[in-house]
Amino acid sequence: MNKFKKMLPYLIIIMLSFYLSPLVMKDTGAAMTMLLVVIPAICFICSILYGIKNSIDLVYVAVVAILFVPAILIFYNASAWVYVPGYGIIALAGNAIGMFFYKRTKSE
């Protein structure tokens, strides 16, 4: 449970991007920008920050990917399933970069 408490602030920010961004999507161009640029950037930055603070955590990566599934069912169509592993990979990459800085600060 303590592990999820550490994740919560980062996951809340990611959840807000998953569930509030469809509200500002007015057309296909805006939707593509959100899905391909804005949401991945938020996911990546949050994952780096989480990795710096807590090192790498595959549970965090899995939770980030799973959190997007209800958004697909609510806002998108079946073609959006491709973003689930995509956001998971982005979270993993950010988490791995953060882990590098976590280890670096621990050794100093």
The tens digit of pLDDT for each residue in 47-106 reads 999 999 999 999 999 999 999 999 999 999 999 999 999 999 999 999 999 999 887 776
pLDDT range class, residue 107, cuts 50, 70, 90: low
Predicted confidence (pLDDT) per residue in 32-42, tens digit:
999 999 999 99
Rounded Cα gap, residues 60 and 5, in angstroms:
11
Q: Phi and psi (nearest 5°) for 77?
A: -115, -175
Rounded Cα gap, residues 50 and 5, in angstroms:
12
Predicted confidence (pLDDT) per residue in 18-64, tens digit:
999 999 888 989 999 999 999 999 999 999 999 999 999 999 999 99
pTM: 0.91
Q: Find out whether 51 and 96 touch, Cβ atoms under 8 Å.
A: yes
Rounded Cα gap, residues 18 and 78, in angstroms:
16
What are the boundaries of each domain within the chain? 44-107
Q: Which two tokens mark 31?
A: 């939707």
